[in-house]
Amino acid sequence: MKNIVCLISGRGSNLEAILAVQRSARWGERLGARVAAVVANRGDAPGLDIARRHGVDTAVVAHRDYPDRAQFDAALGVVIDRHEPALVVLAGFLRVLTPLLVERYQGRMINIHPSLLPAFGGLDTHRRALDEGVRVHGATVHYVSGALDAGPIIAQAALAVAPDDTEQALAARVLALEHVLLPRCIEWILQGRVRLEGGRVHSTGLGADQLLLRDA
């Protein structure tokens, strides 16, 4: 079985979407893969309950318990490595990782970010998108590299920003796209249709329409 380890910090709606697709698309039988563990950096992350409800192993590595990022990352690495993951998914994980972990999981670690990168890395992406008046906004799944919210892009989801959009409305529409985009990218990687080579994303048999998801 190929193990997937998901890292979360909070709500866990992307995790829930992954677990729903794992079940409905029969990842176990079709891909020989499953979410083996969910690791949170906060003991009160609601997403931990989602994992437990699905019978997935959980662990907490609380960043507050460590004096610096390096020691937090070392502890996190030990917990992740227990599962010998084929893929590590940052599914709403709000900590910056040090090169130690980024290098260890190079080509095996992906992140979802709620903007069309390279625009709007960091926090408050929907408010900033509205403030800038952009007409197109969305979400990005990318391999994790050393820089924050950067790294080779696997796929994006895009939607039109309405003139009267509010931050909440926009966030909800982007989130609904995230829930489709992230499981899809995981599946492609597990199928070997997407991989990182020489710092670039290579995809096999995937058209532009699949790599760019559009709001209906």
Name the residues that contact ligand GRF, by CB under 6 A.
8, 10-14, 47, 91-92, 112-114, 139, 175, 178
Paired tokens of 105: 């999981």
- Cβ-contact 35, 69 below 8 angstroms: no
Backbone φ, ψ for residue 80 (5° rounding): -65, -45
Residue with tokens 């992740």: 80
Closer of 73 and 149 to ligand GRF (Cβ): 149
Rounded least distance, CB 110 to ligand GRF, Å: 11
- Cβ-contact 57, 40 below 8 angstroms: no
Closer of 11 and 63 to ligand GRF (Cβ): 11
Closer of 1 and 172 to ligand GRF (Cβ): 172
Rounded least distance, CB 183 to ligand GRF, Å: 12
Closest Cα partner for 112 from 93, 136, 85?
93
- Residue type at position 133: G
Rounded least distance, CB 126 to ligand GRF, Å: 9
Catalytic residue among 54, 83, 113, 142: 113
DSSP state of 142: E
Paired tokens of 198: 């020489």
Closer of 91 and 161 to ligand GRF (Cβ): 91
Closer of 184 and 192 to ligand GRF (Cβ): 184
113 is catalytic: yes
Rounded least distance, CB 38 to ligand GRF, Å: 11
Rounded least distance, CB 97 to ligand GRF, Å: 13
Sheet holding 57-60, edge to edge: 57-60, 33-40, 2-8, 87-90, 109-113, 136-143, 153-160, 212-214
Closest Cα partner for 37 from 99, 84, 105?
84
- Residue type at position 12: G
Q: Which residue numbers are catalytic? A: 113
